[in-house]
Structure 1
Amino acid sequence: MTYAARTPDDLTPRDQILSMSGLEFMQGILDDRIAGAPIAETLGLDLLEVEEGRVVFSGTPGFGALNPSGAVHGGWYGTLLDSALGCAAMTMVPKGSVYTTLEYKVNITRAIPQGTPVICTATVDHAGRSTCVASGVIRGRDDGRVYATGSTTCIIMKIA
């Protein structure tokens, strides 16, 4: 994905988003035809895979992701999981609708050392007309160790 010198004008207009299914939208981001989320650039997150009900992100927490005690901030885990979980939910959103996160939960199982590359895989557990539930896991890219798990409930809204 390309993030060079982006402004709010570079974000995808809502009418364009509504003209596609969520899966088409997410595939557009993956293929770099649609701008991804600016927060992904800020936190060093990359979208690697998109399919119906499943996405994969990668990331490597750098110095900017540390808390004052030198550990990777819990918000970095949370943002990576919220991004992956929400994008997995988005793949299930029909044309003319959008989603938003109602709630999400993060369980940190071990500290990610700064500079450790991780993979976050999120899958949809349930997709209905008005809600979507997804779960995900952050694993070390090289060793497969589980660093955190998470879940979300999203609301799907038809836009008139």
Structure 2
Amino acid sequence: MPLPSIDWTAQQKAARQRSIAGGGKPGLTRMEQLAGKSGREVLEGMMSGELPYPPMNETMNMWLLGVDIGRAIFQGIPLPQHYNPLGTVHGGWFATLLDSALGCAVQSTLPAGRSYTTAELHVNIVRPASHRTGPLRAIGTVIHGGRQLATAEARVEDEKGQLYAHATATCFVFDVPMA
């Protein structure tokens, strides 16, 4: 699932525009919209605008760029509103970007009727970022996908391949309760 070799900022803008052009809006997906869809199909539906995308995407300035079975690519561009009091990007911004990539990598492996939630998230920030850093990309990959637990790993890098953060997650996997 390599993305075309174009400017990362342009890719993020295109991902947002594609979702909105497809009718996508921020919001919560209704249970009837999820019926019969695999985790990957749900993610693809958000990317195409068929399904609502998470409202926090706009708040955090991050978007799902691509998904494949066991892999998800999120990208964000940090802005001054994401700063901590010391003038660099808050650790919560990194954690959100990473948790999104990790969780969606797990979600992409799930059949219809199954869901997940993050049980444990371990984040290591190895380099500070600011709005001058430009786009940062998190690629999440499933390490283990079991019936009740899944684990995944992700890295945040810039366009030059410089590492900013990395993380692992453990997710609970469960049946979606029927309404």
Is residue 140–residue 153 contact of structure 2 (8 Å, CA) maintained in 1?
A: yes
State how many pairs are aligned.
157
SS in structure 1 of the partner of residue 53 of structure 2? coil
**1:127 and 2:162 matched:** no
- Asked whether the 8 Å contact 1:99–1:156 carries over to 2, the reply is yes
Shift of 1:63: 0.7
**What is the CA distance between 1:113 and its match in structure 2?**
2.7
* Match of residue 104 from structure 1: 121
Name the TM-score, length of structure 2 as normaliser: 0.82
1:78 and 2:95 matched: yes
Aligned partner of residue 41 in structure 1, secondary structure: helix
TM-score (norm 1): 0.91
Which of the numbers 146, 156, 159 marks the counterpart of 2:163? 146
Do the aligned partners of 1:30 and 1:50 also contact (CA within 8 Å) in 2?
no
AA of the residue aligned to 2:143: D
Measured after TM superposition, the shift of residue 14 of structure 1 is 2.2
Q: Which aligned segments of 4 or more residues in structure 1 are displaced greater than 3 angstroms? A: none
Flag structure 1 segments of 5+ consecutive residues without an equivalent: none
Alignment of 1:39-50 (within 5 A): 39-50=56-67
Shift of 1:18: 4.0
Show the counterpart of 1:30.
47
* 1:16 Cα deviation from its structure 2 partner: 2.4
After superposition, the C-alpha distances for 1:26-84 in whole angstroms (9 at most, x for unaligned) are: 11112221111111111100111111000111111001000111111000000000111
Shift of 1:130: 1.1
Output the aligned Cα RMSD: 1.9
Q: 2: CA distance between counterparts of 1:115 and 1:29?
A: 29
Q: Which runs of 5+ in 2 are unaligned?
A: 1-18
1:14 aligned partner, one-letter code: M
Contact 2:80/2:130 (8 A) holds in 1: no
Once the two structures are aligned, what percentage of the paired residues are identical? 38
